[in-house]
Chains A and B, each alone.
Chain A
Amino acid sequence: MADSPEEVSAKLEQELRRGVIMLATLSQLRTAQYGYSLRQALATRGMTIEEGTLYPLLRRLEGQGLLVSEWRIEDGPPRRYYTLSAQGETLFASLTQSWRNLTGIVDGLIDEDKSRKKAAP
């Protein structure tokens, strides 16, 4: 059975966010963060990521060599802090450039459509 329009919309939005989540995460790990503090930092900037998505992502990025982590004890229980590795910093710079190019192009495409509608009698 075909998905309802709401389900299709939710799936497409999820696909759209999937690639962005990684870049958003890397952006916040230029300074060391542990899982919960990172999620809070992203949420306060309007980027809410479910904990079930974010915490495993940190491990996968570390497995790919993009993050390094260490256990620290600072006013509370032991926490695993993550930060960008050298490889992660390079990739973050490259992805940032790609993201800016892409958003510029997509913005142009969307605005072109808007201006065409305005120009129509």
Chain B
Amino acid sequence: MSAQFPKPDELITAYVGDVMKHLPRKQRDDVGFELRALLGEELRGRAADAGRLPDEAMTLELLQGFGRPDDVAARYHPPGVPIIPPQQTVAFAWTSLIGVALQWATTLPMAAQSGAPNWIGGWWTSYGLGAFWWPGFLVTVTMVAAFVRLRWPAAEEAWKPKLVDRDHINRPLYAVGLGLALLGVGVWVALAWWATTYAGTNHLAGVFAFDADFLATRAPLVLLYWAATNALYVLLIIEGRCRPLTRRIEIALTLALCVLLMWIVLGGRVFVQETANATTEGALVLVVVAMLADAAWKLWRRRARIRTPVAG
């Protein structure tokens, strides 16, 4: 049986049909009818120029030159509103990937430790695929933001200079911080006294009973650190500004606290009771990670924003 080549008109009709699939429903018939007529005229024009009747090859050349049906349909649409603005595309992609990777990195070892048969399959159908809620959430947020930009363009505020005095000290805030720090010291000392005194007779006191070695060796250094920090706070509140020296003392105290906390964790038990001890040590590690991240962020923000290019 010989192959049946479609006639030029049939090719054009098929092509226009494919374009119409990608058009808004209310435009389809009108644009489809016009496009088919125009392509027919284009084809007849080319055939007249070539001095022959239109054939399949000529029709295909015309249609392929016109473009892929979905591209052609896109040209009929007015310019749309990008859901993710071009300048945010890379940040969006990284935020999505890192979010998914963190979830996988956390849940995969847990699934592996379960020792269940086919744990990979179980992980993939639960946490593995479930991690994609994060990119979906981000897309939803950006869609809402795009809608707000479109609906209320004035909501996007004009740029305003941010004159930030980085050395300025917010005295009321620092005073509140100092008060909370003193309260923390008081509660901690009271807790240590109460737990040590009533550990034998009260169950709750037994839970919070400090390890004797911790109280003898590491706890005094915690009090010393608190004393140094509170002295710095008092100095800053009095002066109202950070000086290079106080800034350096602040950084040194932050690093000292990191070292102190790691020593507390690695140097033995903090609480006698196992659960309280494990929970506290885990929390202290998280505090160290958060402090280091905060210090890195502060250092990064203090870098030169506009670097001088290297000439030559």
Contact = CB atoms under 8 A, between A and B. Distances in A.
Contacts of A55: 34-35, 38
Interface string B17-38: 0000000000100010111011
B76 to A, nearest CB: 5
Nearest to A54: B38
A121 interface: no
B78 A63 contact: yes
Contacts of B263: none
A35 B76 contact: no
B76 A52 contact: no
Contacts of A52: 65-67, 72, 75
A104 interface: no
A111 interface: no
Interface residues on B, range: 20 to 34
A64 B34 CA distance: 19
Contacts of B76: 56, 59-60
A36 B65 contact: no
A interface, over-half SS:
helix
A56 B45 CA distance: 20
Contacts of B27: 59
A77 B42 contact: no
Contacts of B67: 52
- Which of A36, A56, A64, A80 has the most chain B CB atoms closer than 10 A to its own CB? A56
Contacts of A50: 65-66
B41 interface: yes
Contacts of A63: 78
B312 to A, nearest CB: 23
Contacts of A103: none
B37 A77 contact: yes
A4 interface: no
- Which of A34, A40, A63, A80 has the most chain B CB atoms closer than 10 A to its own CB? A80
Contacts of B33: 78
Interface string A79-100: 1100000000000000000000
A51 B42 CA distance: 9
Nearest to A69: B34
Nearest to A36: B41
A36 B72 CA distance: 17
Contacts of B34: 35, 55, 80
Contact of B75 (A36, A53, A80): A53
A59 B38 contact: no
A77 B12 CA distance: 16
Contacts of B35: 55
B71 to A, nearest CB: 8
Interface in A34-74: 34-36, 40, 50-53, 55-57, 59-60, 63-64
A81 B39 CA distance: 15
Given A52-B66, A59-B76, 6 more contacts: A52-B65, A57-B75, A59-B27, A59-B31, A63-B78, A77-B37
5 contacts: A36-B42, A51-B39, A52-B75, A60-B75, A77-B37
Interface of A: 34-36, 40, 50-53, 55-57, 59-60, 63-64, 77-80
